[in-house]
A and B are shown apart, each in its own frame.
Chain A
Amino acid sequence: MQVYEAPIRDMRFVLDELWVDDGFGDIPALEEFDSDLTSAILEEAAKFSREVLLPLNRSGDEEGCVLENGVVRTPEGFKDAYKQFTESGWASLAADPEWGGQGLPERVNKLVEEMTCSTNLSFGLYPGLTHGGAIALEAHGSEDLKNLYLPKMTSGEWSGTMCLTESHCGTDLGMLRTKAEPQEDGSYKVSGSKIFISAGDHDLSDNIIHLVLARLPDAPAGVKGISLFLVPKYLPNDDGTPGPSNGVSCSALEHKMGLKASATCQMQFEESTGWLVGEPHQGLAAMFTMMNAERLSVGIQGVGIGEAAYQSAVWYAKDRLQGRSLSGAKYPDKPADPIIVHPDVRRMLMTMRCYNEGCRMLGGWVARALDAEKHSQDPEVKARATDFVALMTPIVKALFTDLGHESANLAVQVYGGHGYIRESGVEQYARDARIAMIYEGTNGIQALDLVGRKMGQNTGRLLRSFFHPVSDFIEASKGDGPMKPMIDGLEKALGALQLSTATIAQKGLKDPEEAGAAATEYLRLFGLVAMGYCFARATMISDMKLAFGTEEKEFYDAKIKTATFFFERILPQVSANFLAIKAGKKSMMALSEEQF
């Protein structure tokens, strides 16, 4: 059964307690958002997700989207939910107040996003893409375009998409063929076919604003010849209402493994009128403004699904009576013990719990950096925040979605045969979570981004935004206290990460394939160390709370126990990844292509 209650206490731990001294706080622009206000916002978001979005999750998956007479219809209830969602202001949560947004800090926004992803990932995509499109438009669009489109995209009356992929090119956008012909009035005629376009067409909003990558007639070949265009489904009238059709149509819906209530469309643009966003041939860079923001949000999708899967698994593990505990019956009055008594079931539940809490803490740190990047008055803090966000973006995207999918898979395993049956609802999590490892740049591409671009950038300056706070923390926490095993473990893990960094930097300089062969393991190792740091901090804070006395003993006690499991049973994966990196590319590349 899909069970979900927003983990508000844990979210508030991340928001109010965990990162107080990370240097990304003290932002005057965000003073208004004190703990009382953010709690009220989280509570209301939790209520909305539980009461409006969750009930549509299973039915949306069963029903899917339909293409009828050239128009896409979303599942029953989605239109109403979207209306409530936008009217209540959730769609414009983090958007700039200049365009009608609420200007909420990212640290709060990401938590609300997590709730949406937990309760209805398919639904979340519609407003999510609109927000991403608005960000790109805000950064690169002309004043006229911004004034016309941003207020409506912010309110959610009009939605957005990003149209990159074509049938023959996904990761390698240099090959794309959609073209744009300049017109005398300064607009362009955009023609071509796109595939895999999320929210490409649907019945939720009055107009759909596509951000399309295309080539100008004089464009150089490859990625340096791509420009970005804004192409609306309906051309706006002078009074701002949607006017005539603009030659944009959905020719087919993709048949997908999961995420079925999200309309993934094949789109045709036939001499559709569009306007250039940003400079000619600079489209990819402009699109990456959107892409980077989206990558962090996709990471949050991983935690969202992971949390929902975990809660559903806990519910079942307590409910399902089967067999007896290995140490003798725990519930002799019942016909059998609930399966939560078994170590292997515990292993699965604890693993999921660690992934969720670990990612939530790490995500909270990155979100604070996003806020500091945007609002801090101190240029040094701003620069450090920018470095940190750039470094962590591929990690958040790939690590969170890998672990989210693993959690969903574990939930199916906890349910056993019932997990493989649709009615239980948990196999949907496994199907829905799978795409997050692929879109917005596959996780393999994220790993390459980390080793190929972020690692060496400014002679390793980005890395220091992570290494320094972690080693400072280790130095400051050394001693013979109860935290010694944890701090020792973290120190070793950080050592393995630094050694791996040096190895890859050295080998990769001579042979880029060496860096490529190490990338995925390196990203995982990095993620494990980062989560270890989060759990060590969490333990230190919890120890302190317990020592000073608290009414919330259960919460802090559970935090320490979870952290201990992480250090004893999950962090050791650092060694395996380290050894794999050390081994290098040789065995990976040894087989000839014919031998496959």
Chain B
Amino acid sequence: MKILVPVKRVIDYNLKPRVRSDGTGVDLSNIKMSMNPFDEIAVEEAIRLAEAGKADEVVVVSIGPAKAQETLRTGMAMGADRAILVETDDEVEPLAVAKILKAVVAEENPGMVIMGKQAIDDDSNQTGQMLAALLGWAQGTFASKVELDSDAVTVTREVDGGLETVKLGLPAIVTTDLRLNEPRFAKLPNIMKAKKKPLDVKSPSDYRVDITPRLKTLKVVEPPVREAGEIVPDVDTLVAKLKAMGAV
């Protein structure tokens, strides 16, 4: 079985994002970029399935700028077999990504798509679900455990009330949550091998997908700075203050 793993190049999770002074978005100039951590978990899961003999090929795909090749190489250094970059410098919204992925799926015929439940830059949490809808495939989102059989996949989902286990017929979409696994460190020989693994570069027009954004970002602002607290002498003062604020 072939597994397709979409990965996104995002601002490194260790960094504190800064908003551009004109409020049009997050300042990404000269900022360290890395693979979206949820996607890293997806790559790890796919590789583990391949190592367990349950999958025979892992293909990573990214939609984004030329620099996203680095992200794909990271995926291949971890163990993915080959990569596809759908190159575009334009902003792509979840629906456009899902449409491109649908076209990639049509070409590649994977038995399963494993992807991060969301990207840490826009936190959309939509692409997996949209892709499942477009393909008419089953979906197991927020996975904390994935068990693959020949014709079905059992996914333990992290839902608000606890854990929910679903069994999906294949092909299926699985989106990963944080506790699914701990991604490996790439081994040095594999980093070197990754350079020689095949990486195809395509464009959205190759798939005849219109990626024109449907949303307009009005402005982006930094979260308000937390203000200093105040120590009150007694409960009466506290209640009085809360009343004055209209909180009680």
Contact = CB atoms under 8 A, between A and B. Distances in A.
A44 B77 contact: yes
8 contacts: A37-B191, A40-B194, A43-B74, A44-B186, A44-B188, A89-B188, A102-B189, A551-B29
B70 A88 contact: no
A323 to B, nearest CB: 20
A41 interface: yes
Q: 7 tightest CB-CB pairs across the interface, nearest first?
A: A89-B188, A88-B187, A44-B186, A89-B187, A89-B189, A40-B191, A552-B30
Interface string B146-175: 000000000000000000000000000000
A87 interface: yes
B191 A41 contact: yes
A554 B30 contact: yes
Contacts of A206: none
A84 B185 contact: yes
Contacts of B195: 32, 36-37, 40
Nearest to B15: A5
B29 A90 contact: no
Interface residues of A, number: 27
Contacts of A84: 185
Contacts of A104: 188
A48 B74 contact: no
Contact of B30 (A90, A92, A555): A555
Contact of A88 (B14, B30, B188, B192): B188
Nearest to B73: A40
Nearest to A91: B188
B70 A40 contact: yes
Interface string A42-75: 0110011001100000000000000000000000
A338 to B, nearest CB: 16
A93 interface: yes
Contacts of A92: 188
A119 B29 CA distance: 28
Given A44-B77, A89-B189, A36 B30 contact: no
A551 B191 CA distance: 28
B78 to A, nearest CB: 10
A554 B185 CA distance: 31
A470 to B, nearest CB: 32
Interface of B: 14, 29-30, 32, 70, 73-74, 77, 185-189, 191-192, 194-195
Interface in A530-564: 551-552, 554-555
B103 to A, nearest CB: 28
Q: Which of A51, A102, A551, A552 has the most CB of B within 10 A?
A: A102
A39 interface: yes
A36 B73 contact: yes
B29 A39 contact: no
Q: Which of B29, B186, B188 has the most CB of A within 10 A?
A: B188
Contacts, number: 51
Nearest to B184: A88
A87 B73 CA distance: 20
B29 A88 contact: no
Contacts of B189: 89, 102
Interface in A64-114: 84, 87-90, 92-93, 102, 104
A51 B182 CA distance: 12
Contacts of A551: 29-30
Q: Which of A36, A43, A102, A551 has the most CB of B within 10 A?
A: A43
Contacts of A554: 30
Contact of B70 (A36, A41, A48, A52): A36
Contacts of B194: 40
A52 B186 CA distance: 13
Contacts of B77: 40, 44
B14 A87 contact: no
A87 B190 CA distance: 11
B191 A93 contact: no
A104 B191 CA distance: 12
Given A36-B195, A51-B185, 20 more contacts: A5-B14, A32-B192, A36-B70, A41-B188, A44-B185, A44-B186, A44-B188, A47-B185, A84-B185, A87-B187, A88-B185, A88-B186, A88-B187, A89-B188, A92-B188, A102-B192, A104-B188, A551-B30, A554-B30, A555-B30
A51 B186 CA distance: 13
A5 B34 CA distance: 14
Nearest to A9: B30
Contacts of A51: 185
Contact of A90 (B70, B74, B188, B192): B188
Contacts of A36: 70, 73, 195
Contacts of A47: 185
A40 B187 contact: no
A575 B186 CA distance: 49
Contacts of B187: 87-89
Contacts of A555: 30
B73 A93 contact: no
A39 B70 contact: yes
A120 to B, nearest CB: 15
A51 B189 CA distance: 20
A102 B187 CA distance: 11
A21 B92 CA distance: 42
B15 to A, nearest CB: 9
B214 to A, nearest CB: 30
A8 B73 CA distance: 18
B112 to A, nearest CB: 27
A253 B122 CA distance: 54
A89 B30 CA distance: 29
Nearest to B195: A37
Contacts of A48: 185
A529 B195 CA distance: 40
Nearest to A554: B30
A247 to B, nearest CB: 36
A84 B187 CA distance: 9
B31 to A, nearest CB: 11
B191 A44 contact: yes
Given A36-B195, A40-B74, A40-B194, A93 B30 contact: no
A324 to B, nearest CB: 19
A546 to B, nearest CB: 14
A154 to B, nearest CB: 12
Nearest to B14: A5
A103 to B, nearest CB: 9
B192 A37 contact: yes
Interface in A25-42: 32, 36-37, 39-41
A270 to B, nearest CB: 39
B20 to A, nearest CB: 14
Contact of B188 (A8, A32, A43, A93): A93
Contacts of A5: 14
Contacts of B73: 36, 40
Nearest to B30: A552
B53 to A, nearest CB: 21
A112 to B, nearest CB: 9
A398 to B, nearest CB: 31
